[in-house]
Amino acid sequence: MGHFIIGRRDLLAGAAAAPLAAVGAANAQPPPGRDPSGGAADADQQRRMKWWHDAKFGMFIHFGLYAAHGRHEWAMEDEAIPVAEYQRFTEGFKPAPGSPRKWAQLAKAAGMKYMVLTSKHHEGFCNWDTKLTNYNAAKFGPRRDLIAEYVEAARAEGMRVGFYYSLMDWHHPDGARCATDEAARRRFVDYTHGLIRELLTNYGKIDILWYDVSWPLDAAGWESEKMNRMVFGLQPDIIVNNRNKLPGDFSTPEQTIKAEEGGRAWESCMTLNDSWGYQRADDNWKTPRTVIRNLITCARDGGNYLLNIGPQPDGGIPPESERILRAAGEWVHRHGETIYGADRCRVARNTYANFTRKGNTLYMHVHFWPGSDVAISGLRQKVLSAKLMNTGQSVAVAQDGFRTHLTGLPATAPDSPVTTIALECDGEPVQDTDYVRINKPRAGVGI
Ligand code: GLC
């Protein structure tokens, strides 16, 4: 059992190495003109964000010791598991070689374009061969560098590569006391910057850094500006999120879809059931149709959808996750032109359909097929033509200034789980239902 206990001496070895890393970090400089807060929507930010805006759909992967426990990645705190007991999950954390390749293949099959893997979650275990602590996957559990395997697998399947990194750490001795003890803060911030530096130095080009939970420090405490400066210095094309207490390049609504104001970039992250990390008994799965509807809503409002899998301790993908993502992916592949590179869409009101847009083309995605006609209220543009996406069959359109009425459709849904109709408009399609409410002729008194 002894070798599973990560002693204080081992950790201090990491702490001692950190200042060196920090010195290196200070030397890394971002390209001239870069705002280290990543907040300003400058030309450089637009350049770095372009692929991501087009991509729309990514895979989140939560994988760590909590997979071996199988009760959600918050179990260490939520069940108050003592550190020594928790460390023993390393014994059961045995991903089969090649697991990341299967994740990447599934991401591709789902129509996703990028992946974000937990490099270190709140539990503190590092999934790579770090020199700063021996609490890592090369020394315990798999005894391999999982990050190296993941990066290679993602690239082999044509996926952009992202790292999730939790600032909060329940394992490191300074993880909480850094808030009240300056010497501890110094050590822990050096350790943190050092770990991030390793991640962004040792694995080639990395596309996304996805910070998480900043407890217990603020931006000044974490030295977040310096952190981002180092990140951009090491990876000039990378994009970063907003969870190190700086705005970063994009916002991260969680388990909800909420567009940002003022054109700011955002990505909605979501679980497929109710858990990020593997939770054996969680069977509250979303349907493929819900996944597709969520992706459509994100694309409609100019956002991205980062959808999670929590692999089992052997690295296998929970069968339900695989089934749902393959089914959704089949649709996404057939309707890629309605999602990837979509523009913000100003048509949204309907109880049985949702919308995306590209240029002057409006895509009406009908999820509850109502019968042989469908209608859009308050579409202010003229529809030049309409067709069913899956068959190419053209659809009859009538417009009276208030209602855009599509008729002669099949009585049962022609496609599954969502049927899409493409409408060519004579300008950017815009919906105004207030106009309809105010101006649509009313009756006299009574009928
Ligand atoms: C939260 C949770 C965490 C999860 C993350 C994903 O911050 O603490 O477990 O990784 O959200 O967005």
Best mutation site among 62, 213, 214 for ligand 1, i.e. most ligand atoms within 8 A of its Cβ?
213
> Can you count the helices (H) and strands (E) in the chain?
14, 14
Looking at the CA of residue 308, tell me the nearest atom of ligand 1: 6
Q: Return the biggest CA–CA distance within the chain.
A: 87
Looking at the CA of residue 168, tell me the nearest atom of ligand 1: 8
Query: How far, in Å, from the CA of 210 to the mean position of ligand 1?
Result: 11
Looking at the CA of residue 243, tell me the nearest atom of ligand 1: 7
Q: Could you tell me the pLDDT band of residue 41, with boundaries at 50, 70 and 90? A: low
Q: Is 213 in the pocket of ligand 1 (CB under 6 A)?
A: yes
CA-closest residue to ligand 1 atom 10: 276
| Cβ-contact 108, 159 below 8 angstroms | yes
Q: What is the pLDDT of residues 141-181, one digit of tens each?
A: 999 999 999 999 999 999 999 999 999 999 999 999 999 99
Q: Is 73 in the pocket of ligand 1 (CB under 6 A)?
A: yes
The DSSP secondary-structure symbol of 428 reads S
Best mutation site among 168, 276, 305 for ligand 1, i.e. most ligand atoms within 8 A of its Cβ?
276
Q: What is the pLDDT of residues 233-291, one digit of tens each?
A: 999 999 999 999 999 999 999 999 999 999 899 999 999 999 999 999 999 999 999 99
CA-closest residue to ligand 1 atom 5: 212
What is residue 447's three-state secondary structure? coil
Domain boundary assignment for the chain: 8-338, 353-439
Looking at the CA of residue 166, tell me the nearest atom of ligand 1: 10
Over residues 109-122, the mean pLDDT reads 99
Query: How far, in Å, from the CA of 212 to the mean position of ligand 1?
Result: 7
> DSSP string of 102-142?
HHHHHHHHTT--EEEEEEE-TT--BSS--SS-S-BTTTSTT
Q: Is 212 in the pocket of ligand 1 (CB under 6 A)?
A: yes
Fold annotation for 353-439: Immunoglobulin-like (2.60.40)
Query: How far, in Å, from the CA of 224 to the mean position of ligand 1?
Result: 19
Looking at the CA of residue 277, tell me the nearest atom of ligand 1: 9
Confidence (pLDDT) at 446: 87
Q: What is the pLDDT of residues 326-348, one digit of tens each?
A: 999 999 999 999 999 999 999 99
Domain 8-338 has CATH 3.20.20.80: yes
